[in-house]
Every structure is written in structure tokens, then in C-alpha cells.
Amino acid sequence: MKKYNVGIIGYGWAATAHIDAINASKQAQVTAIYSSRPLDSAELSAKHGGTITAYQNLDAMLADPSIHIVDITSYPSQHRDQAIAAANAKKHIILEKPMANSLQEVRDITAAAKANGVHGCVCFECRFSGQFITTKAMIDEGLLGSIHYGEVDYYHGIGPWYGQFRWNTGKKDGGSALLTAGCHAMDALLLCMGNDVESVSSFSSKSKSEIFAPYEYDTSSVTIIKFKNGSVGKCAAIVDCLQPYYFHTHLVGSQGSLLDNKFHSNKLQTNKAAWSDLSMKMLDSGDVSDHPYQTQFQEFFDALDENRDMKWTSFPESLKSFEVIFAADRSAELGGQPVRPSDL
Ligand SMILES: NC(=O)c1ccc[n+]([C@@H]2O[C@H](COP(=O)([O-])OP(=O)(O)OC[C@H]3O[C@@H](n4cnc5c(N)ncnc54)[C@H](O)[C@@H]3O)[C@@H](O)[C@H]2O)c1
């Protein structure tokens, strides 16, 4: 047996990708799954390997002392209560995005983890993609110099062809274009530019296509971010487009620029008149089986070994991204009026 036993909450699409990633890690294995549906322990064990106990009662799973970590992959409107219950049961927590659909709930979750001395991992796994590990390394090596403008945008049409559509169209669980999926792009922008945000100004809109008519909220938004250091950024969150998945990144700095997988750097004396290619695994799909959960969870388990918060996607770090996201959504409600995250 490996060191950490993980109990999963929710057994949907994200859960299946999480189980594979957890079981492939050095220290952890899935030993329990809680679902509102009756699941069969023997079937789950045969399908995923190891010995998995199925629970239909969350309190019973949380009371199991052999479980060290709870992984929450349920509907967003359930995240707060389940995360607080897990923290109070002294379990470390993996939490799917959005952490929750209101800032108060996200703050409640972060506070409960702190009060109980447990660590968190938010599934902003894009930070652990080949694309953003390389992009961040280029920034940290100074190859782009000091970045004064950056845009990271999320284009992914979430229509009836997508499993989440059945619940994602409702405001209660979908939230907003940023909360439901665009948060990955905003979080990546903050990874690249820092999360010290002065104010944001956001506008939102909605496709006129009948395909997206069931959505109860605006499914396209664009946010301009003013950072405290004087730099500016932009993040578009578009979930009502009819085009291939596209995670667009353009960073402009005092030594060069990066556009997706292309760059120029004065420091490297590359040819400014032509882009140089960067070979890296791009974020080019919304499919969870493609997501870099394994790299992210490995870092989380390594951090638990050292009793420290994980890098990049701990609860306190991701709370900062959600403060910016909720400020953006508030600004869009106010017709674009600037909102300071620190005022929320
Ligand atoms: N980080 C990412 O890139 C990423 C990708 C996908 C989903 N997610 C997040 O993961 C969470 C779950 O999303 P999902 O795509 O797994 O959604 P899903 O619809 O597959 O599952 C959502 C919930 O519904 C339950 N469920 C699924 N089928 C059910 C059924 N037949 N009967 C009863 N309950 C059922 C699941 O157990 C789960 O609790 C959400 O918070 C979502 O935003 C994140």
C-alpha cells in the first residue's frame, strides 16, 4: 500500500481522470468513492484497481480514519459544504474548479482548511501543463524581460455535445463564463503576470445561436486587468463559440514576446522578424483525459510529505485568482465599472 488513501466525492467525468492520476502517483491510491448513486465496491475495484469501498453516505466516508485525502469532483454548488466537512474531518483536500460559485464560499473553504491544519489543491491543473511550465520558465529566466502586457484567453464551445451542458447552463452550478471554465485562462494569466491586481473592468455578452440559448448567464466575457506594478492584462472567457478549443496566450515584455508556442527574445538574439518555435505540449483540448492532473497531484502529494502548501495551486494561492474572477464578474454586472478585488 502507498502512503495516502484518497476518497473521491462524485463519480462523473472529472473523477475518472482524477482516479487514474492519483493511482499513477508515487504516494497515493483511491480507496473510496462517495456518490449519490448506489455504486458497487467490487465493480469499482475491478475497474480502477486496488480495493475501493463505495459509500452512499458522505459522513460515513469522512469518518473512515484510513482516508487521508478527500477529492471533490461534484457539482460546484456542493463544493463549499463538502470541502468544509472534509476539512473538519481533518482530511487534506483536492478540489475541482471552480472552488465555489461565490467569493464568500471560497473564503469559507480556505478558512476551514487553515483552521483544521489541512492542505488544499485546486484543480487549476493548466499551471502544470507542459505549455505553462515552459512559459513560466521562460519568464523566470528573464527571456521576455519585464512583462507589461499579457493576454490569456479561453475559447471552448460548451454546447449540448458536452456532458457538463446538462448542469452547466444553470447559473447555480455554471456561474459565469469565467467561473465555469474561463477561470483556467485568468489563473494562467495571473501565473504569468503575478496576482497583485489593482482593479478589473469586465464586459459580457452572449451568442445569438439557439445552441447556447439554454444558458442562464452571459457565456462570453472580456476582462481588462490593471496590475499594481503598472502592467495591464486581458482575459477573454468564451464558452459559446463554434470553433476548435483554443487557449490563447500572448505576453509582451521588455526583452521579447511569446505567442502560444512561438517567441522572440532579444536576450537570445533570435531574429525579431520571424517567430522562433517552442516545442511543448499545448493545451489544445477540453478533454479531462488530456489534462495534466498527474503532474499536479504529484506535486500536492510531495508537498504533503513535507507538510507544506503545494506550489501554484494551494487554497491561499487559488483564492487570489478567485478574488480577481469575482471582481471581474461584479464589474460585468456593473456594466464594466472598475472593481478592486481588495474591495470585495
Ligand atoms: N479542471 C478541469 O479542467 C475540469 C474539467 C472537467 C470538470 N471539471 C470540474 O469537475 C466537477 C465535475 O465536473 P464533471 O465534468 O465531472 O461533471 P459530471 O457531470 O460528469 O459530474 C458532476 C457530478 O454529477 C454526478 N453525476 C454524474 N453522472 C451522474 C448520474 N448519472 N447520476 C447522478 N449523478 C451523476 C457526478 O458524480 C458528480 O458529482 C465540476 O466542478 C467541474 O467544473 C473541471
Specify the pLDDT at position 239: 98
Q: Strand 256-259 and strand 246-253: pairing?
A: antiparallel
Average pLDDT across the chain, whole number = 97
Domain stops at, among 74, 99, 118: 118
What is the DSSP code (8-state) at residue 309?
Answer: P
Question: What percent of the chain clears pLDDT 90, i.e. is strictly above it?
Answer: 97
Ligand 1 centroid–CA 328 distance in Å is 25
Q: Residue 35: CB within 6 Å of ligand 1?
A: yes
Ligand 1 centroid–CA 134 distance in Å is 29
Number of domains in the chain: 2
Ligand 1 centroid–CA 264 distance in Å is 40
Burial class (CB in 10 A: 0-12, 13-18, 19+), 45: middle
Domain identity same for 209 and 231: yes
Instruction: Summarize pLDDT for 121-161 with one digit per residue, the tens.
Output: 999 999 999 999 999 999 999 999 999 999 999 999 999 99
Query: What is the CATH classification number for the domain harbouring 11?
Result: 3.40.50.720
Q: What is the mean pLDDT of residues 48-77?
A: 98
227 in a structural domain: yes
Domain identity same for 96 and 144: no
Domain identity same for 143 and 113: no
Q: Residue 291: CB within 6 Å of ligand 1?
A: yes
Give the separation between CA 314 and CA 98, rounded to whole angstroms.
13
Specify the pLDDT at position 96: 98
Q: Residue 175: CB within 6 Å of ligand 1?
A: no
Q: Residue 78: CB within 6 Å of ligand 1?
A: no
Domain identity same for 143 and 229: yes
State which ligand 1 atom lies nearest to the alpha carbon of 74: 39
Instruction: Summarize pLDDT for 173-201 with one digit per residue, the tens.
Output: 999 999 999 999 999 999 999 999 999 99
Domain identity same for 157 and 280: yes
296 in a structural domain: no
Contacts of 84 (CB under 8 A, 6+ apart): 108, 109, 112
Ligand 1 centroid–CA 344 distance in Å is 29
Q: Residue 89: CB within 6 Å of ligand 1?
A: no
Domain identity same for 106 and 139: no
Instruction: Summarize pLDDT for 220-241 with one digit per residue, the tens.
Output: 999 999 999 999 999 999 999 9
Q: Residue 76: CB within 6 Å of ligand 1?
A: yes
Strands of 147-155's sheet in order across: 197-205, 220-227, 232-238, 147-155, 246-253, 256-259, 262-265, 276-277
Domain identity same for 69 and 131: no
214 in a structural domain: yes
pTM above 0.85, yes or no: yes
Q: Which cell numbers hold the place of 73? A: 469532483
Q: What is the mean pLDDT of residues 13-33?
A: 97
Q: Residue 157: CB within 6 Å of ligand 1?
A: no
Q: Residue 31: CB within 6 Å of ligand 1?
A: no
Instruction: Give the domain extent around 237.
Output: 126-287+320-343
Torsion on CA atoms 76, 77, 83, 89, rounded to nearest 10: -140
